Amino acid sequence: MDTKKIIAGATLLTLGGALLGGVIGYNLYEPKTVVITETKEVVKTQLVEVEKEVQIPVEVIKEVPVDNGNLQLLLQYGYDNEGDLSGVYDDLKDTEIDQVVNRIVFINDAKAIALNEVKKGILEELHKSEVTMSSGSIVKLYKSDIKRLKFNEDTLDIVVVEKDFDDKDAEVKVTGRFEQENDKFNFEAIVLIKDGAFDEIETVSISERI
């Protein structure tokens, strides 16, 4: 075999191998683009009109029918009670509002009856009552010794505690004060009104007036 051919063949093999290696090397280090699928949650904001019922306090003014006979009564009652008519018409329907005047008459009468009956009977109610003083001592009351008896006669001081307009029943609180010797006291009387008339002085509470 010709030595030059052998050398030439070996050189070609070597060169071919080198070229092949270069191609493989290129293919090994060639950058590739890889597609990765990624799932993402997409939140979409959408404005929606929603109807909502909202309760708004509304002041309702009710008209009370008046004439020459009851106008003065209504005005006086409103004045005496500083414009407060609560409890007089709260439970009335619009068709019953004319009953306001009758209710005012009942309340005024109940207060007047209660005050009058307390004035007449309070001494008997206080007689022989015992009061525990702040000092710890007990004072016994005697109607003959009670002095400077005063009643809180202002219409705001006389309170209708309970009332039933239909049956004309009421509980009325009347308050006042008095003295015995050097001791001073307050009293609170609860008067019962039945069918629009005096029934009894139910209770009398007495406390030391400091």
Q: What integer is the mean pLDDT of 155-163?
A: 94
Structure tokens given for 160:
């209708």
**Domain edges within the chain:** 1-29, 71-208
Rama region for 83: left / alpha / beta (φ>0; ψ in -120 to 50; rest)? left
* pLDDT bucket at 82, cuts 50 / 70 / 90: confident
Provide the pLDDT for residue 64. 57
Q: Where are the alpha helices (DSSP H) in the chain?
A: 3-29, 71-80, 100-126
In angstroms, rounded to a whole number, what is the distance separating the alpha carbons of residues 61 and 42? 55
- Over the stretch 98-128, which tens digit does the pLDDT of each residue have? 788 889 999 999 999 999 999 999 999 999 9
In angstroms, rounded to a whole number, what is the distance separating the alpha carbons of residues 194 and 105? 15
- Identify the three-state secondary structure at position 207: strand
The CA-atom distances, in angstroms, between 138 and each of 91, 132, 133, 135, 141 are: 47, 5, 6, 9, 10
Provide the pLDDT for residue 15. 37
Provide the pLDDT for residue 44. 58
